[in-house]
Amino acid sequence: MSSTAVVFHNVEKRYPFFHLDRLSFRLETGQIMGLVGPNGAGKSTCMKLLTGLIEADAGEVEVLGHRLPAGQVEAKWQIGHVSEDMRLFSGATLGWHLDFVAAIYPGWDAIYAQHLLRHFGLRGEQRVKTLSRGEHMKALLLLALARRPALLVLDEPTAGLDPVARQEVIGELMEVVQDDRRSILFSSHNTLEIEQICDQVTFLDRGRLVDSRDKEAFIERWRRLSVSLDETRALPDLPGVVETQRSGRLVQLTCRDFQPELTARLQALGAEVLEIQRMSLEEIFVANVMAKRREMGE
Ligand SMILES: Nc1ncnc2c1ncn2[C@@H]1O[C@H](COP(=O)(O)OP(=O)(O)OP(=O)(O)O)[C@@H](O)[C@H]1O
């Protein structure tokens, strides 16, 4: 088995108003990766590329050791893909869907399916067209999870779920990766959720990679410093600092690659360092995207 679940290498996809620009990242087996980006960043496009729904214009997409598109049939058997726009047969019951999917996929786990049915508060006898939006999403997740796929590709799986249901789903996903042969690629606009469950995080913006690394590495590298400095004194460009905001004597510095030496450097410039704070993943995401846009002159 490949030790890497997903490899994107210089992947490009063009639409009339969008360009996925030489995107490269890797998802290691046994890990949960959060894909985070503003609307239209290209998250769903990435997911469609690696589930074989669309083909790259250039670059390499490898999933579970299979190069796409040549190996997409083998890869697809081992991928569970869920996205909000997927539809079930509205007139059929959920139980009918369970039987239908069980008949196709040899890895179907009927005991686990029954557990999920109870856990998600769903009923096999209920017709799909009568499910609420959140119940529909839980049904899609159930059908994907009970196949026990090696790779789950979940496009905003918690959108539309209430906070309790969201925690139930997150709990199930964390269970999935207890088996270290399984991996999850997960997109969400909820960075708290990403912070809670993901091992790796990839930030996208306008079809470009902003950053991709271990969640802990993001949290370790980024800091926000509050500094007091005489208003007449200027600050030079400082290593790792991506944003400076001044308001009177108070200066706030956002730092991408914080090194303790920065404190001594600021003191030598006459500044008093008042506070050094860790940043939430949401703050890191916003600062990272804005810094990248500035670097690109946008
Ligand atoms: N089939 C298509 N034809 C033309 N443009 C497309 C097509 N599919 C996607 N796009 C464009 O590609 C861009 C990226 O879309 P994508 O759905 O990947 O974004 P996303 O990051 O998932 O966004 P959101 O968070 O809003 O769901 C968008 O600007 C979208 O309009």
Q: Where are the domains of the chain?
A: 223-278
Say what the pLDDT of residue 134 is. Answer: 85
Say what the pLDDT of residue 2 is. Answer: 59
Closest residue by CA, ligand 1 atom 17: 44
Instruction: Give CATH for domain 223-278.
Output: 3.30.70
36 C-beta closer than 6 A to ligand 1: no
Say what the pLDDT of residue 52 is. Answer: 92
Closest residue by CA, ligand 1 atom 18: 42
Local confidence band at 39 (pLDDT 50, 70, 90 cut-offs): very high
Say what the pLDDT of residue 74 is. Answer: 92
**Using one digit for the tens of pLDDT, what is the confidence trace for 125-180?**
999 999 988 889 899 999 999 999 999 999 998 888 888 888 888 888 888 878 87
Smallest CA-to-CA distance from 294 within 232, 237, 229 is with 237
**Using one digit for the tens of pLDDT, what is the confidence trace for 263-290?**
999 999 999 999 999 999 999 999 999 9
49 C-beta closer than 6 A to ligand 1: no
Say what the pLDDT of residue 296 is. Answer: 84
How far apart are the C-alpha atoms of 218 and 234, rounded to whole Å? 29
Q: Are strands 200-205 and 32-36 parallel, antiparallel or unpaired?
A: parallel
> What is the best residue among 8, 19, 36, 43 to mutate for testing ligand 1's pocket, by most ligand atoms within 8 Å of CB?
43
Distance 15 CA to ligand 1 centre (A): 9
Task: Name the one residue in this structure whose structure tokens are 């810094």.
Answer: 291
54 C-beta closer than 6 A to ligand 1: no
What type of residue is 142? L
42 C-beta closer than 6 A to ligand 1: yes
Find the range with the poorest average confidence among 16-25, 38-47, 163-172.
163-172
**Using one digit for the tens of pLDDT, what is the confidence trace for 83-139?**
988 888 989 999 999 999 999 998 899 999 999 999 889 999 999 999 988 889 899
How far apart are the C-alpha atoms of 196 and 238, rounded to whole Å? 32
Local confidence band at 11 (pLDDT 50, 70, 90 cut-offs): very high
Say what the pLDDT of residue 23 is. Answer: 97
Distance 286 CA to ligand 1 centre (A): 20
124 C-beta closer than 6 A to ligand 1: no
| pTM for the predicted model, two decimal places | 0.91
- Torsion of Cα atoms, 195 then 200 then 203 then 207, to 10°: -140
> What is the best residue among 12, 18, 47, 156 to mutate for testing ligand 1's pocket, by most ligand atoms within 8 Å of CB?
18
Smallest CA-to-CA distance from 80 within 5, 7, 162, 24 is with 5
For the chain, percent of residues with pLDDT exceeding 70: 99
Q: Are strands 32-36 and 183-187 parallel, antiparallel or unpaired?
A: parallel
Say what the pLDDT of residue 1 is. Answer: 52
In the predicted model, what is the mean pLDDT of the chain?
92
Mean pLDDT value of segment 52-69: 95
Say what the pLDDT of residue 63 is. Answer: 96
Query: Which atom of ligand 1 is the closest one to the Cα of 54?
Result: 1
Closest residue by CA, ligand 1 atom 30: 40
Task: Name the one residue in this structure whose structure tokens are 């996208």.
Answer: 204
How far apart are the C-alpha atoms of 134 and 18, rounded to whole Å? 30
**Using one digit for the tens of pLDDT, what is the confidence trace for 167-201?**
888 888 888 878 878 999 999 998 889 998 999 99
Closest residue by CA, ligand 1 atom 29: 40
